[in-house]
Structure 1
Amino acid sequence: MKIKITLFIVIAFSINLSAQEKKKDTINAKEELSEVVVTGQFEPQSIKKSVFNVRVISSKDIQNLAANNLGDVLNQYLNISVRPSGTSGRSTVSLFGLDAQYFKILVDNVPLVNEAGLGNNTDLSQINLNDVEQIEIVEGSMGVIYGANAVSGVLNIITKKSSRYKWSVSASVQEETVKDEFALFDKGRHIQSIRAAHTINDNWFVSIGANRNDFQGFLDDKKGKDYSENDQLRGYRWLPKEQLNGTALIAYHKGDFRVFYKFEYLDEDIDYYNATVQSGYNTELGSYRYANDKRYLSNRYFHNLNTSGKLFSQLNYNVSLSHQKQERNVEDFRYYLLTKNETSNVTVKDQSMEVLYSTGTLSNFFSSKKVDLQTGYEFVNNKGYSLVQEANNVMTPIRKTLENYDFFASAEIMATERFSVRPGLRFSAQSKFKDQYASSLNLRYLFDKGIELRGSYGTSFRTPTFEELYSKQIFDGHFFTGNENLIPETSTSYEASLKKTTMLDSGLQIANTFAGSFLDVNDRIDMALVRFNPDTGNPEYEYINISKYKMWNFSTMNQFKKGNFTFNIGAALIGVSRKIENQVFASDDRYLYSFNLNSSASYFAPKWGTTFSAYYKYNGKSQQFVEGSSEYIISDIDPSNWLDASVRKTFFKNKFEATVGARNICNVTNVNQSNTNQSAGHAGSSELNLAYGRSYFIKLTYNLNL
């Protein structure tokens, strides 16, 4: 009832303002329009006009880091933690301590599919950056605009759709060590990419690109795939992985009408070599040794058709229609170590997700610049597949379809030249769950002397994943199952930020931002102990809505820029309270704290055509509750330091570019995590595998612009 009354007041206020005479916005007239953002906006606009606090990662940052995938970039940013896995090959992201299920990744405002979900649980290593214009991050609840699972924030990858050149061709080769392991073909990381773009005329633009990322794995103390002793040293510490990415785009624009079609393809192979070597004998081979190995084969198709323009000479429309599919197959085979042959190859589909997705908006209902109203819809048809393990090691395929039909409305009101208000409401009709709602209220006030104040309130929801609903692993006394009776999690967030921009007579530009936020998540889903089987005495675990999660965060980001020199420094303090329960005992809800700091510096020397860059991040000690034998106890994760540096130089009128540098200069590999071994109730410690250590790279690029 309160939401309906608020929406009625907003609409009434909007209509009243639309009747007022237009006035020149003297504040906006002075805005610097060079940094334009699209995430969460009614239409592309300057970052100063946004009611959201948008963080931008530019294409220059991506170039300086010689980043090939999204994981290479995000590791350096505040409040964001990248968790790579050497055993699965995946890299996922966590924001404010909430994992990848709460953070939505978009490509041109369309959530990206993976075999486990839509927009969430995304493997960062599978997102190629070959044609990225910029990356935009908005922290906090974005449920009204982007729907389910945009609880902790969204990341939007904006791709290139035009060029100021008639022809543009870029080709690059990158060679990178994996710690101290490198050989031209057999060890290290080898990357090749090519992209060609053509502006056909004033209306048409096309581009096509391809990228190959060949990661030969990291041995460390392992002995590789041809090692024949059964001492658990066979295989790799980090699994070998090869990725092929392809992209194509065709775009047309004339006047206010724009349309583009974008296609992406991913093919990924991950090789798993079993550490257990077995022996056999037959009359043909005699004595032989073999291992039961496997490959994980993933592919993704991404189609997105987008059109925007005007209706009735005033209304702005923007519609996207997308078809996406990602599938993972597992190939099991026997590998003979003497002959190096494979036999008994069997491939089965392990997981897949196929999605039909469409979203659209209408805005600019009123002639007055004092007010705008946006209405929109979202339609999702999500067909999921998973191979689950029933009792007695019986593998059973599960196929389910989940749908939602969402409608949302948001108004942006310029109450004065300085003060703007943006309320919003979303209704989501779910095929599997009860109907869901999201609401938001965003405020922005521009003071004198370059001071900007923003505040926001938002509610959002997270729907259970396919795994949480339908997974099963039942074998040898282990019992872990999904739960079809789960309900969506709900969340409430509050945010405030203060930004001050200063221009000194010396030419020094200073931007200081101070921000605080609070997030409260209810009905959080966790895998919890539900009972001890009365017949076997074995524990049985199931996903249930049982936990609560609260987080507050204070952060500051500061930029100093003069001429060709830019320096950034930021810090954040996060407190997390998580109440975890099972059917036997529960944790307390005390706040556990963590601190992180980041800094970057870059300098462009025009005389040499050279850019020097360095990126540093400190992840402080963090804590979390883990399940012991009779209670939840605190597990400590030690701090870590990350430093990347590079030198990028252009030659021959920018036609050639060379970048040399180092990642993970502080040589982080594993960090200690206490209280992880709860066997027999005795707390122990283990190591959390974060990286494979320091690596060096060189990247050579040829650019042809005509």
Structure 2
Amino acid sequence: MQRIHKLYYIIFLTGLYASAQGINQDTLANNLNEVVITGQIEPQSINKSVFNVRIISQADIQRQAANNLADVLNQYLNIMVTPNTSAGRSTATMFGLDSQYLKILVDNIPLVSDTGLGNNVDLTQINLNDIERIEIIEGAMGVTHGANAVSGVINIITKKRALKKWELSVTAQEETAGEEYSPFYNKGRHIQALRAAHNINQNWFASVGVNRNDFEGFKDERGGRDFTGYDPDDLDHQRGYSWLPKEQLTTNALIRFQKNSHRVFYKFEFFNEDIDFYNPVVSQELVTGTGLLKYSFDRIYNTSKFYHHLNASGKLGGVNYNVSASLQKQRRNVEEFKYYIQTGQEVPRLDEVYQETQVLYSTGTVSNIIKSSSVSLQAGYEAVNTKGYGSSLSGIFNNDEQGGTNVDKRLENYDVFAASEIQLTESFSIRPGFRYSFQSKFEDQWSGSFGVRKLFLNGYEARASYGRSYRTPNYDELYTYMVDANHNIQGNAALNPESAHSIEASLKKNFMFASGAILSPSLSANYIMVDDRIELAIVNPQPLQYQYININDYKMWNIATANSFQYKNWQARAGLSFMGISRKINAADTTSDNKFLTTYQLNANVAYSITKAGMLLSVYYKLNGKQQQYVDNGSVSDPGFDLQEIQSFGLLDASIRKDFFSGRLNTTFGARNLLDVVTIRSNIPAGSGVHTAGTNNIAMAYGRSYFLKLVYSLNF
């Protein structure tokens, strides 16, 4: 801990934090005025926002050669990307709260997911080829973004303009998966993309794009699809992949009309993904006329998504308006077949819908209602109509009223909200807000917030805010029903939404020196408290029975510093975050310890540009400290809670970017995970209970990987 304190002291004074923006001399100064829209009454610069907003720019995405959202979020404080290798997906946690508490939006529209709207989103399905920037706001954002925006929101802003009449780009990227790579033999990661944008005339703009991401999986110590080893006593089952192969195709189109103060755009996106699951369990069968063949029951999971977004914004009679309507549909199909390994024969067994969600969503605001230079008022609405279906293959569901094991339910909410920004003096402003939500399934909910911003002498900026938000239960928590000889796990249709309270305060300052150097340190503190947290807990020890119930309390405090430095061709940033988490869990007759368990994160990023050579060198590093939490041991004879520990690990990435042919050809060569992290150790006993994964290792990455990205752009 003493070393950490020394490191914190050095970081805060030197401010070595990697720039998330471009590489020219005026970049950071320009970023101080970069326009943000997330949670604002009107688009405004970062330094005028009452909320703390972090920006991930297009330049930063390019430096990391990031193709999806999981690629880029790994390097940011208070965020942890958690892969699920058995399902082929990755989600994000913020402040220790999982992806159900973090809302992910595209152009202010929450994305549909397996279990809801905007939450539990698979980050690997969010393509970044058409992205202008990413805005991150930490803390409760329930007033502006509704249910489940408890730990924060991530808003992805897509491109809607072109600087030239035509902008054409072609992208090819090859990447290894650890040491596994071949462009011809199903190894590594292969990405191709095409984008065309056109300013048709003064008023009309259109763009189209397509992206293919082919990840061939990561075997590690497994044998792949055609592994023929068979040993009935081998419980490790070496067939298959440690990370499942998957192929993704994303297509999008946008058309925009703008005249005077009015703008209308329509965006369409189609996403398709195939995930190949190769069952590690191999059996054998005597086939007449062929002999003894080894086989396994394999599956292909296909996900298709349709995304429609129509938006209109502008000014009528001096009042600003912004209205969006969105229709999203996600369907996951599963195809299961019997695969004979030696012959390659596939015998179909089933092909059916695995999960389906359809969401009709609309939101709108009017602002500048009061004609005053010191008062801004915004009023808005949000309407959500979600229809969800899950088959018994995706988890066994209790659906007695429909007489089956599948679930087919509709959830609706209709919200109204208002927020005001009041400039009490030139240096002091406040922002109150309130939302009321009319719920079809639960009792009506509400969110509230109050923020202040104060500018002091010598350029110091102070912000503080309070927010009250809520999270509604998902389908698994409401309807799961898994009861057999070995399990008794039940959902609870009577669950109440969780309520959360968030407090945030920050102080920042920009120092500009005569030499041209810019130093920008900041210090922030957060506190989040979640009441009635939903947990799968023991409700009956004999016989052992689990059920989702509102029993838990969750508390989190966080102190962080983020510091940036820019001088000539150097840009750097460094940050450090300390966090304490308290979880009180009740199960049967036992209660867990609710003391605060601490952890830390550190990140640093350095960029150096060689102007004459047209090169940019970048290094990213993030250290995730040891994590601890109490876990139900699942014991019937001696129930209790064990302290789980997950080891610390670091992620180090580096890249070299070089331009050719007057910038038309851009090449980026680099490496991810230079420290070669594959799994991280945990002291969870294998098979210790329903809460555990049954393993002592947690898959975090697939080892040291190298990439080469080529982008050819033609603008005229």
TM normalised by structure 1 equals: 0.93
Conserved? CA contact 1:635–1:676, under 8 Å:
no
Shift of 1:285: 2.9
Shift of 1:31: 9.2
Q: Which amino acid aligns with 1:327?
A: R
Q: Secondary structure at the match of 1:469?
A: helix
- In structure 2, relative to structure 1, the CA distance for the partners of 1:625 and 1:170 (3 Å cut) is same
User: Residue in 2 aligned with 1:363?
Assistant: 367
Shift of 1:584: 2.7
**In 1: Cα distance, 2:595 partner to 2:282 partner:** 47
- In structure 2, relative to structure 1, the CA distance for the partners of 1:484 and 1:256 (3 Å cut) is same
Shift of 1:678: 6.2
Shift of 1:563: 2.6
User: Residue in 1 aligned with 2:145?
Assistant: 146
User: Is 1:217 aligned to residue 217 of structure 2?
Assistant: yes
User: Residue in 2 aligned with 1:526?
Assistant: 535
Shift of 1:363: 0.3
**In 2: Cα distance, 1:613 partner to 1:445 partner:** 35
Conserved? CA contact 2:397–2:407, under 8 Å:
no
User: Residue in 2 aligned with 1:645?
Assistant: 654
User: Is 1:405 aligned to residue 414 of structure 2?
Assistant: yes
Q: Which amino acid aligns with 1:240?
A: P
**In 2: Cα distance, 1:462 partner to 1:563 partner:** 46
Query: Structure 2: any 5+ residue segments left out of the alignment?
Result: 1-28, 232-236
User: Residue in 1 aligned with 2:439?
Assistant: 430
Query: Which of 459, 465, 482 lines up with 1:473 in the alignment?
Result: 482
User: Residue in 1 aligned with 2:307?
Assistant: 302
User: Residue in 1 aligned with 2:316?
Assistant: 311
User: Residue in 1 aligned with 2:19?
Assistant: none
Query: Structure 1: any 5+ residue segments left out of the alignment?
Result: 1-29
Count of aligned residue pairs for this structure pair: 669
Can you list the C-alpha shifts for 1:518-547, whole angstroms capped at 9, x where unaligned?
A: 1110000011111145xxx3x111111010
User: Residue in 2 aligned with 1:699?
Assistant: 709
Q: Secondary structure at the match of 1:405?
A: strand
User: Is 1:677 aligned to residue 686 of structure 2?
Assistant: yes
Conserved? CA contact 1:78–1:572, under 8 Å:
yes
Shift of 1:195: 0.6
Conserved? CA contact 1:429–1:436, under 8 Å:
yes
User: Residue in 2 aligned with 1:3?
Assistant: none
Can you list the C-alpha shifts for 1:238-295, whole angstroms capped at 9, x where unaligned?
A: 1111111111110111111001111111101110111122222233433322111111
Conserved? CA contact 2:682–2:696, under 8 Å:
yes
**In 2: Cα distance, 1:421 partner to 1:80 partner:** 28
User: Is 1:622 aligned to residue 627 of structure 2?
Assistant: yes
Query: Which of 552, 567, 576 lines up with 2:572 in the alignment?
Result: 567
Q: Which amino acid aligns with 2:215?
A: F
Conserved? CA contact 1:672–1:685, under 8 Å:
no
1:326-475 aligned within 5 A: 326-388=330-392, 389=396, 396-475=405-484
Query: Which of 591, 612, 620 lines up with 2:596 in the alignment?
Result: 591
Shift of 1:679: 4.6
Can you list the C-alpha shifts for 1:120-170, whole angstroms capped at 9, x where unaligned?
A: 000000000011000000000000000000000000000000011100011
Conserved? CA contact 2:397–2:480, under 8 Å:
no
**In 2: Cα distance, 1:584 partner to 1:217 partner:** 44
- In structure 2, relative to structure 1, the CA distance for the partners of 1:685 and 1:300 (3 Å cut) is closer
User: Residue in 2 aligned with 1:23?
Assistant: none
Conserved? CA contact 2:656–2:670, under 8 Å:
yes
Conserved? CA contact 1:230–1:275, under 8 Å:
no
User: Is 1:501 aligned to residue 510 of structure 2?
Assistant: yes
Conserved? CA contact 1:451–1:498, under 8 Å:
yes
User: Residue in 2 aligned with 1:243?
Assistant: 248
Deviates more, 1:140-149 or 1:217-226: 217-226
**In 2: Cα distance, 1:668 partner to 1:511 partner:** 32
**In 2: Cα distance, 1:399 partner to 1:476 partner:** 26
Can you list the C-alpha shifts for 1:617-671, whole angstroms capped at 9, x where unaligned?
A: 0001110111122211211110001100000111001110110000000111111
**In 2: Cα distance, 1:270 partner to 1:678 partner:** 26
User: Residue in 2 aligned with 1:257?
Assistant: 262
Shift of 1:235: 0.8
User: Residue in 2 aligned with 1:87?
Assistant: 86
Can you list the C-alpha shifts for 1:431-450, whole angstroms capped at 9, x where unaligned?
A: 00001010000100111222
User: Is 1:270 aligned to residue 262 of structure 2?
Assistant: no
Q: Secondary structure at the match of 2:70?
A: helix
Q: Which amino acid aligns with 1:627?
A: D
1:100-115 aligned within 5 A: 100-115=99-114
User: Residue in 1 aligned with 2:118?
Assistant: 119
User: Residue in 2 aligned with 1:666?
Assistant: 675
Conserved? CA contact 2:33–2:47, under 8 Å:
no
Shift of 1:224: 1.0
**In 1: Cα distance, 2:286 partner to 2:32 partner:** 74
Deviates more, 1:570-579 or 1:603-612: 603-612
Conserved? CA contact 2:150–2:470, under 8 Å:
yes
Q: Secondary structure at the match of 1:468?
A: helix
**In 1: Cα distance, 2:48 partner to 2:491 partner:** 45
1:52-91 aligned within 5 A: 52-91=51-90
User: Residue in 1 aligned with 2:293?
Assistant: 288
Shift of 1:395: 7.3
Shift of 1:680: 9.9
**In 2: Cα distance, 1:348 partner to 1:46 partner:** 49
Can you list the C-alpha shifts for 1:48-77, whole angstroms capped at 9, x where unaligned?
A: 110000000010110000000000000000
**In 2: Cα distance, 1:532 partner to 1:658 partner:** 61
User: Residue in 2 aligned with 1:11?
Assistant: none
User: Residue in 2 aligned with 1:21?
Assistant: none
Conserved? CA contact 1:308–1:316, under 8 Å:
yes
Conserved? CA contact 1:387–1:395, under 8 Å:
no
- In structure 2, relative to structure 1, the CA distance for the partners of 1:619 and 1:679 (3 Å cut) is closer
TM normalised by structure 2 equals: 0.91
**In 1: Cα distance, 2:703 partner to 2:112 partner:** 30
Query: Which of 323, 326, 335 lines up with 2:327 in the alignment?
Result: 323
Can you list the C-alpha shifts for 1:389-423, whole angstroms capped at 9, x where unaligned?
A: 269xx972110000000000011001111111100
Q: Which amino acid aligns with 2:461?
A: E
Q: Which amino acid aligns with 1:553?
A: N
**In 1: Cα distance, 2:280 partner to 2:390 partner:** 26
User: Is 1:492 aligned to residue 491 of structure 2?
Assistant: no
Can you list the C-alpha shifts for 1:357-414, whole angstroms capped at 9, x where unaligned?
A: 00000000122221110000000000011123269xx972110000000000011001
Q: Which amino acid aligns with 1:221?
A: E
